[in-house]
Amino acid sequence: MAERASELLRGAAAAVAPNAGAIERVGDRGRLWDDLYHRLLAAKWRWLLITVFAVYLGMNAVFATLYLLGGDCLENARPGSVTDAFFFSVQTMATIGYGKMVPRTPYANVVVSVEALFGLVSTAMATGLMFAKFARPSARVMFSTKALMVARDGVDSLVFRMANARGNQIVEASLHVTLLRAETTVEGERVRRFHDLALARASNPVFVLSWTAVHPITRASPLHDATPERLIEWDAAVIVSMVGMDETSGQAVHARHSYAAKDIVWGERFVDIIEQMPDGRRRIHFERFNATEPVPGAAQSDGASATASAATEPSSGA
């Protein structure tokens, strides 16, 4: 049971990440030091820890070299010993001061003073960066891998599914869905424009389990004349943004996802993932989160994969 739960959590974490492709910047003259704090804050934990460790070793190596250049300037240290100079630097930068090796010349005292100041500043910066990254609020929201074009209450609709993978409550959650597509202006210029997609329900007072978002395709909808071929021609993308308040931390959290034209499937519907238990509890099946089934009599897009299920589609909402 524990192994199955871990597998589901790994699957949920994979579904949380947005599927937007990476952007290659050409001609950007930004340097490594530009906005360094934001770069480190946005970096993955392993790269941040590797960077901190590399800077720590590098600066101690620099100060060890300075001590070696001063000749026999460290008392109780072996003359010319790289090891003694390096570990004396470690003790000085961390203000440990075991009392065995001490500076014996004015030159060594000057280097020690500079290193002590550098150690104080770098420790404060690293501590602040680590805390800011650790305390940064985040929402573990799962998005279905596919968005569906299917009839909902007799109206053709764009449908996708979300779930709160963390298990707590996101209060006053609001959803904003936008269609991004390529268009040609009157002057013949090729541009990409945003079009808001109105939802049947754009807010949720308590987002706990699942949320099926529905955009009715009326005559006023930008998707009114959409077909699989036209979506590809438009280079279309449906961009989803959710904002809410995390009940546990009391901080605003957000999540985003995008669906490319190839991710939009015709003629299928989601299978149910919520089961009502005999004792009144509800069970959510994450292993069926992306599962779909064909709609009888509905035309399906090429390459659409269907997963059979006898369950019914859940209602929109938590």
Between 316 and 102, the higher pLDDT residue? 102
pTM tops 0.75, yes or no:
no
* pLDDT at position 304: 41
pLDDT in tens, 128-166: 988 888 887 777 888 999 999 999 888 999 999 998 888
* pLDDT at position 137: 75
Position 91 confidence tier, pLDDT thresholds 50, 70, 90:
very high
How far apart are the C-alpha atoms of 227 and 231, rounded to whole Å? 6
* Res 209 pLDDT > 90: no
* Res 198 pLDDT > 90: yes
Position 99 confidence tier, pLDDT thresholds 50, 70, 90:
confident
Spell out the residues 6+ positions from residue 195 whose beta carbon is closer than 8 angstroms to its own: 178, 179, 180, 181, 222
* Res 15 pLDDT > 50: no
Position 299 confidence tier, pLDDT thresholds 50, 70, 90:
low
| C-beta of residue 150 within 8 angstroms of C-beta of residue 265 | no
Give the range with max mean pLDDT: 29-33, 61-65, 167-171: 61-65
Between 309 and 150, the higher pLDDT residue? 150
Domains of the chain, first to last: 36-135 (1.10.287.70), 141-294 (2.60.40.1400)
Range in 119-133, 226-240, 267-281 with the lowest mean pLDDT: 267-281
Per DSSP, the residues of 217-251 read --TTSTTTT--HHHHHHHT-EEEEEEEEEETTT--
* pLDDT at position 236: 92
* Res 110 pLDDT > 70: yes
Where does residue 306 fall: left (phi above 0), alpha (psi -120 to 50 degrees), or beta otherwise?
A: beta
Range in 1-5, 210-214, 285-289, 297-301 with the lowest mean pLDDT: 1-5
* pLDDT at position 6: 42
Position 29 confidence tier, pLDDT thresholds 50, 70, 90:
low
* Res 17 pLDDT > 60: no
Between 302 and 160, the higher pLDDT residue? 160
CA distances from 314 to 81, 90, 169, 207, 289 (A): 72, 60, 19, 15, 12
* pLDDT at position 32: 61
Smallest Cα–Cα separation from 240: which of 134, 161, 124? 161
* pLDDT at position 18: 43
